[in-house]
Amino acid sequence: MGVFARKAYQAAHRLGVTALMRRFQGPRVPVLMYHGVSSKRIGGVLNCEKKHVSAGDFERHLRFLKAHYQVVPLSTYAAMLRGGASPRGCAVVTFDDGYENNRSFAFPLLKKYGVPATVFVTADFVEKGGPLWVDRLAAAFAATALSSWADPSSGTLYPLTSEDEKVAAYLELKSRLKRLGPRDHARAVEDLLRGLGVGPDPGLPRLYAPLKPEQAREMAASGLVEIGSHCCRHLALATLDPDDARREIVSSRERLGALVGKPIECFSYPNGEASPILTGMVEAAGYSCAVAEGLRLDRPGGSRFAIARLALKEDDDEAAVAATLCGLRALGMGR
Ligand SMILES: [Zn+2]
C-alpha cells in the first residue's frame, strides 16, 4: 500500500467515514480471501504476493471483524442469499488452497475469537502431500544461484541478481504458465525448474506445506471450520476442456466429502476465475455456492456461484482494515 493510500484511509477512519460507510453498508458483505497465516511476517520471493499473513496481523483483523461484524460461515451466507434473508452486518472469512498453517496458526486464533471460516482445499495437495506448482516455482526462484535466466521459448532474458528481479521474473513466468493447457503446463514447469538449476525439489519451506488429512478432519469436526473444494489439481479451469473441468469440480467434491465425512457445500475457483459455463457446472455438481475473486464487497442480486471476495494485506493498519471491510478501498483509493 502506498503512503498516500495509507494516509487517506487514516484520515477517513479518523473522521468517521469508515464507520459511516459501515452503517450504510446494507446487505453488501465483505467475504475475505486468505491463503495462509505464518508465525511471523515473511517477505521476499517466497511471499511476494503476500498470500501468507502473520499471526499477529491475522489476530488484529479478527479483533476488528469481531467488534464490528457478525462473521458467518460461507454456507450460512449462501443460505441467506438463497432464502432472501438480509445478510446486513455479516462478514465471511475464507482460506484458499489448504495450507498446513491454516491448522497451526489460523485455527487457534479462529477458536480464540469464535470466528467461523471456510477452508478451500485442493484435493491432490492435501491427499498426496506434494507442493503446489506455484510454490515449487517460488522456492526455485528463491534458491537459484543463477544471475540470469534466458527463456528458450521467447528469448527473454530475466536478470536474477536481486530479490526484486527474482520477484518480477517469478510473477511474469507464473502468469504465463497459468495460461497453458495441463500437458504443456506440466512440461513447462519442469523445464523451468531445471533451467533454474535447482532440480525437482528446491527444498520447500514449511510455509508451503499442505494440511494433513487428519488436520482437515479435525478442523471440520470442530464445527467452526467448513471444508470447501478448490478442485483436484489447482489448474485454471478455463485451460481445461469442459469434461476435464467438470471432473475437477465433481470429483474434488466427492473426494473431500469422503475425507472429512461431511458433504462439501462450497467451491472456490482456482485463480478466482468464474464464467457462466463454470458456474453452471458448479451448481449442477451439488454445491450451494462458489467464490470468485472480484476484489469488492459481494452485492445482493449477484450469483451465489460467483460470490466476490477481497483480501486484507499484512501491513494493513486498523484504518486500512476498516476501509477494506466497508468498501471504501474497493472504490479505488490507491488500491
Ligand atoms: Zn488457490
Q: What is the pLDDT of residue 332?
A: 66
Q: Say how far apart CA 112 and CA 130 lie, in whole Å.
A: 30
Position 154 pLDDT exceeds 90: no
Cα of 15 vs centre of ligand 1, distance in Å, is: 37
DSSP 64-106: HHHHH-EE--HHHHHHHHHHT---TTEEEEEE-S-BTHIIIII
Same domain, 296 and 238: yes
- Do 125 and 233 share a domain, yes or no? yes
Q: Are 90 and 184 in a shared domain?
A: no
pLDDT at residue 243 greater than cutoff 80: yes
124 and 219 inside one domain: yes
Sign of CA dihedral 330, 175, 254, 257: negative
**CA end-to-end distance (rounded Å), the chain:** 7
Mark which of 195, 224, 245 sits at the end of a domain.
195
Report CA(35)–ligand 1 centroid distance (Å). Answer: 8
Which residues lie below 8 Å from residue 270, measured CB to CB, with a gap of 6+?
A: 122, 230, 231, 234, 235, 236, 237
Res. 183 pLDDT band, cuts 50 70 90: confident
Ligand 1 centroid to residue 203 C-alpha, Å: 21
Residue 230 CA, ligand 1 centroid: distance in Å? 7
Residue 11 counted as domain residue? no
Residues 122 and 187 in one domain: no
- Per-residue pLDDT band at 285 (split at 50, 70, 90): very high
Which of 161, 195, 229 lies at the terminal end of a domain, its last residue? 195
Q: Which set of grid coordinates corresponds to residue 1?
A: 500500500
Question: Tens of pLDDT along 18-68?
Answer: 999 999 998 999 999 999 999 999 989 999 988 999 999 999 999 999 999
Helix (H) or strand (E) holding 8: helix 3-14
175 occurs within a structural domain: yes
Residue 85 lies in a domain: yes
DSSP 240: S
Kindly give the distance from the C-alpha atom of residue 93 to the centroid of ligand 1, in angstroms, as a whole number: 15
Distances (CA, A) of 212 to 42, 81, 101, 120: 23, 33, 10, 14
- What is the Å distance from ligand 1's center to 211 Cα? 14
Q: What is the model's pLDDT at position 331?
A: 83
Q: Do 176 and 121 have their domain in common?
A: no
* The domain boundary residue, chosen from 195, 223, 240: 195
For residue 134, how far is its CA from the centre of ligand 1 (angstroms)? 10
DSSP readout, 277-320?
HHHHHHHHTT-SEEEEEESS-B-TTS-TTSEEEB---TT--HHH
176 with 295, same domain: the answer is no
If asked whether residues 118 and 151 sit together in one domain, one would say no
pLDDT digits (tens, 9 = 90+) for 83-112: 988 999 999 999 999 999 999 999 999 999
CA of 125 to the centre of ligand 1 (A): 11
Report if residue 16 sits inside a domain. Answer: no
Are 73 and 220 in a shared domain? yes
101 with 181, same domain?
no
Residues 6+ apart with CB under 8 A from 283: 305
Report how far ligand 1's centroid is from the alpha carbon of 95 (Å).
Answer: 9
Question: Does any domain span residue 322?
Answer: no
What CATH number should be reported for the domain holding residue 256? 3.20.20.370
Within a domain: 114? yes
Distance (Å) from CA 59 to ligand 1 centroid: 22
Judgement on whether residues 73 and 123 belong to the same structural domain of the protein: yes
Q: Could you tell me the residue range of the domain that residue 270 belongs to? A: 30-56+68-129+212-310
Q: Are residues 156 and 244 in the same domain?
A: no
CA of 137 to the centre of ligand 1 (A): 15
- C-alpha cell read off for 282: 458448479
How many domains, in total, are found in the chain? 2
Residue 18 alpha carbon to ligand 1 centre in Å: 30
